[in-house]
Amino acid sequence: MSPAVSTEIGGIIRRVRKRRRLRLEDLADENISPATISNLERGVPHVKQDKLDYLLDKLGISMDQIPELILEEKEELKNLKFQLFSCESLVSIGKPDNALEKLSQLEVEDTHPHAALYHYIQGKSYRSKKNWKKAERSLYQAVRIGSQTRSDLEAAAFNELSLCSYYQNRLEQALKYAESGIASFEDTGERPQIKYLLRRNKAIYLERLGRLGEAMKVVNEAWEWLPQIEQIETKLSFYWLQSELSRRTGVWDQAVHYAETGLELARLNQHYSMMFDFWTVLANTAMKLEDWKRAEHCFSMALELKDQLPEQDERRLITTYTRLGKLYINIKKADEAHQTLQKAIQIGKQQQDIPRLTHALQIMGDYYRLRKEKSKAIPCYRQALEIAQQHGLKKRSYQSTFHLAQCLNGVDEQEFQELTRIMFTLQVELQNEEGVLFEEMD
């Protein structure tokens, strides 16, 4: 019996058992165990034919009935998959509660062919609601079940797990999940686009961790796939990564080229969030070139899109306000700098976006330090350092430690020496990891 037929018969067995409200244990006896029945229902090919014959006979299913029952099973599977597709669509339009309600009405056991998909959508729904524990529990189930079949649901579940970790500021864990998703991806599945999402997310996590060389390598390797990427946000994200990484590694012309190309593509597709990001990259590139007028114009263009951003994208404002505050510091607009940096810190705390928040705190510290107000700068640097250490952001920790030491030099010699020791330790760790001290973090 072929694996395909075996799977179909397994579905029939499961359906008949459930209609009769029987558990696996209710069907088991001295001749067949619950585990064997479960294997038969899942279509595991190594189960002996005599066990299948025995179970079919016990359920009163004759071989003559099989063809008709297979057709019924196919139709039932088709209908259930359509229901699951509807649930996933509800999540995509921002209605996870509706999706969860519909999912609760479906009876899908872990032996069902669509069990991995069921748990995946359930996890995606909870992730959308920021219910991290329930999301992770469902997604672990999707990984476990998906790993038993040749599908890309295991990879898709790892991608969702990486997002759960990312939004909880567990960047190293997010990176590990993305790498697990890439390793488990199957080209034979129904979600070929997931391989682009996983690589995009991996590059973003590396960028957030300050591992710019590794991030650029991921982007360059994926760049040849750009024409195959169907989701416009994913494609635009790769343009943003190219522009942002080019900016942060000092390749200004390339940064402008990718930002302007991405900006036009985002404009044509009315993708306001990515337009906002591209204007911000252009503003920061202009700042590095000390073209202050152009930089201020690009920031104002980004903020024109502020009201078009969906609620979940409000964290983007942290970066823009922080960098605009830095611009105001450079052009001696002290009041504007302070007000803008306060906005960045406020949103950073509300959104609990740790990498962006630590950067905003550092720039606020710079603001006070450059104004010779060390007593106000020190708490900003201390807070940035504490948060960065808690979340394993070594480069942010190094920078906060360095600036804090600047403030305490000649003021508190004992703490200055301790900070110098911490800086040395971080420097060694960073050199061991990447062979460089640190690349630009802003």
> What do you get for the CA distance between the two ends of the chain, in Å?
61
| pLDDT at site 6 | 65
Report the chain's C-alpha Rg in angstroms: 27
The span from the CA of 3 to the CA of 121, in Å, is 27
Sequence-ordered list of residues with C-beta below 8 angstroms from that of 352, at least 6 positions apart, any chain: 169
Query: Is the CB of residue 316 less than 8 Å from the CB of residue 309?
Result: yes
Least confident stretch, 96-100, 388-392, 429-433: 429-433
Q: Given pLDDT bands bounded at 50, 70 and 90, which one contains residue 434?
A: low
pLDDT above 70 coverage of the chain, percent: 96
Residue 32: helix, strand or coil by DSSP? Answer: strand
371-380 mean pLDDT: 92
| pLDDT at site 96 | 96
**What average pLDDT does the chain have?**
89
- Per the listing, tokens 């942002």 go with 244
The span from the CA of 37 to the CA of 51, in Å, is 9
Residue 234: helix, strand or coil by DSSP? Answer: helix
Which CA distances in Å does 414 have to 375, 405, 417?
Answer: 17, 11, 5
What the chain holds in terms of domains, given with CATH numbers, is 3-61 (1.10.260.40), 93-223 (1.25.40.10), 231-313 (1.25.40.10)
The span from the CA of 69 to the CA of 55, in Å, is 15
- DSSP string for 37-75: HHHHHTT-TTS-HHHHHHHHHHTT--GGGHHHHHHHHHH
Which CA distances in Å does 196 have to 121, 136, 221, 237?
Answer: 19, 22, 11, 10
pLDDT at residue 26 above 90? no
Q: Given pLDDT bands bounded at 50, 70 and 90, which one contains residue 2?
A: very low
For residue 84, give the H/E element and its range: helix 66-92
pLDDT above 90 coverage of the chain, percent: 60
| pLDDT at site 433 | 62
Residues in the chain: 442
Q: Which residue has the higher pLDDT, 71 or 234?
A: 234
| pLDDT at site 210 | 84
Sequence-ordered list of residues with C-beta below 8 angstroms from that of 65, at least 6 positions apart, any chain: none
Q: What is the pLDDT of residues 298-338, one digit of tens each?
A: 999 999 999 999 887 888 999 999 999 999 999 999 999 99
The span from the CA of 370 to the CA of 368, in Å, is 6
CB count within 10 Å of CB 179 equals 15
Q: Given pLDDT bands bounded at 50, 70 and 90, which one contains residue 214?
A: very high
Q: Which residue has the higher pLDDT, 215 or 314?
A: 215
91-114 mean pLDDT: 90
Q: Which residue has the higher pLDDT, 76 or 334?
A: 334
Query: Is the CB of residue 181 less than 8 Å from the CB of residue 191?
Result: no
Burial of 104 (0-12, 13-18, 19+ CB in 10 A): exposed
| pLDDT at site 437 | 42
Nearest Cα residue to 162 out of 220, 206, 213, 219: 206
pLDDT at residue 440 above 60? no
Q: Which residues pair with 32 in a beta bridge?
A: 29
Which CA distances in Å does 293 have to 191, 253, 282, 287, 402?
Answer: 45, 18, 12, 9, 30
| pLDDT at site 74 | 80
Nearest Cα residue to 209 out of 160, 254, 248: 248
pLDDT at residue 439 above 50? no
pLDDT at residue 46 above 80? no
Compute the CA torsion angle 42, 45, 46, 48 (nearest 10 deg).
90
Q: What is the pLDDT of residues 117-156, one digit of tens each?
A: 999 999 999 999 999 999 999 999 999 998 887 678 999 9
| pLDDT at site 442 | 53
Least confident stretch, 96-110, 369-383, 392-406: 392-406
Sequence-ordered list of residues with C-beta below 8 angstroms from that of 262, at least 6 positions apart, any chain: 236, 239, 240, 242, 243, 274, 278
| pLDDT at site 121 | 97
pLDDT at residue 4 above 60? no
Least confident stretch, 199-208, 269-278, 320-329, 401-410: 401-410
385-392 mean pLDDT: 88
The tokens for 421 are 């020791």
| pLDDT at site 48 | 81
Which CA distances in Å does 69 have to 9, 27, 65, 376, 400?
Answer: 8, 20, 6, 76, 68
pLDDT at residue 244 above 80? yes
| pLDDT at site 55 | 85
- Per the listing, tokens 């890309």 go with 152
| pLDDT at site 323 | 95
Which CA distances in Å does 309 have to 295, 325, 349?
Answer: 21, 20, 18
59-82 mean pLDDT: 81
What is the identity of the amino acid at 421?
Answer: R
pLDDT at residue 29 above 70? yes
| pLDDT at site 436 | 44
Q: What is the pLDDT of residues 165-185, one digit of tens each?
A: 999 989 999 999 999 999 999
Cα–chain center distance at 14:
36
Q: What is the pLDDT of residues 401-433, one digit of tens each?
A: 888 888 888 777 788 888 888 888 877 777 766
Which CA distances in Å does 89 have to 159, 365, 405?
Answer: 18, 45, 52
CB count within 10 Å of CB 28 equals 16
Nearest Cα residue to 348 out of 215, 203, 224, 169: 169
Q: Given pLDDT bands bounded at 50, 70 and 90, which one contains residue 441?
A: very low
Q: Which residues pair with 29 in a beta bridge?
A: 32
| pLDDT at site 358 | 94
